[in-house]
Amino acid sequence: MCPGKGSSMISTITLNPAVDKTVYVSKLIPHETNRVLRVETDAGGKGINCSRMLKRLGAETLAVAFLGGTTGEFVRAILDKEGIPHDCVWTSKPTRTCICVEDSTESPPTTFNERGGPIEHSELVALLEKAKNAARRSAYVVFGGSVPVGVNPDIYKVLIQIAANGGAKAVLDADGEAFAEGVKTKPFMIKPNRDEAEHFLGEEFESKADVARAALKFAEMGIQLTVISLGKQGAIACYNGQVYDAVAPDVKAVSTIGSGDSMIAGILYALERGLGIEDALRMGCAAGAATAMSNGADIGEKADVEKLVSRVKVSRIDFAPL
């Protein structure tokens, strides 16, 4: 199921998608029997989440991913149900399952993420070919998430170069070694969260000014657009050397799963429609907040995004970089 040729398309490539299960309990007590209140199951993975929000916003999108087994069939069924075109490589191993345990306390959720894979060489070759096809048909290609067993951590470096060769702008949302390798190829946009940026730069941010200087450091590495997400605070962004503070609207967050992926979708949706960076950041923060208001791994609705956009405050940060 694939869309026709169109330079306005935003493709996503997910190497390690998942079936996300969110388990709700009153209070999680380790080493005890915990009674489950309810379970919500949804398709997951950074690129999958991004495509789902893009579709809800009305963008043309294509989801490329490794899928396998009954769990892979579940993810594919969600994509079909939501009318999201996809071009996936079917793997011999099943798509992984990730479990998130949420309780009614203020404590962060507890997550259990399977590694995913192993991916066979022939399967990787097939995905690289699909990535080439997607790049030739897209304005942007989003690469996101962890790398499954059997795939080298430098895979994003290879994929970002494929996007560039196809004439598409690459967007990277990963962490650890996969992120470090990908940055070397200078993608158009990166979206680390605060912890990921601190880890990569070997620093600890004590203020938004520290985050802003970090965004400038990525600009010095050749990254045109850096967005460092700050959870409910919003994001600090650097676009063509100018730093911005995007303050997210105050909403009642139910689950943060997929919020960062939705932020990317909102930003790219706006940029592809010719909006300026400040409007793009507003759309991104609104999309992220809308998803945070949704249960489990569900993605926010367009109507909520539209209501929240005007509540996002974006301002420039001007200072002499250190």
Q: Which residues are marked as active site? A: 261
Q: For residues 101 and 106, what is the distance between their CA atoms, to the nearest angstrom? A: 13
What are the structure tokens assigned to 47, written together? 């690129």
* Separation between Cα atoms, residue 257 and residue 296, nearest integer Å: 7
List beta partners, residue 47.
none
Contacts of 24 (CB under 8 A, 6+ apart): 36, 37, 38, 39, 40, 101, 102, 103
Tokens 């594919």 found at: 76
Q: Does the N-terminal peptide bond of residue 153 adopt cis geometry, omega within 30 degrees of 0?
A: no
Give the number of residues written for the chain.
322
| Residues 314, 312: Cα–Cα separation, whole Å | 6
CB atoms near residue 35 (< 10 Å): 7
Q: Per-residue b/e over 161-186, b at no fewer than 16 CB within 10 Å?
A: ebbbebebbbbbbbbeebbbbbbebb
Q: Is the peptide bond before 187 cis (omega within 30 degrees of 0)?
A: no
Question: In angstroms, rounded to a whole number, what is the distance separating the alpha carbons of residues 134 and 169?
Answer: 12
The residues that bridge with 102 in the sheet, in sequence order, are 24
Cα 239 from chain centroid? Answer: 19
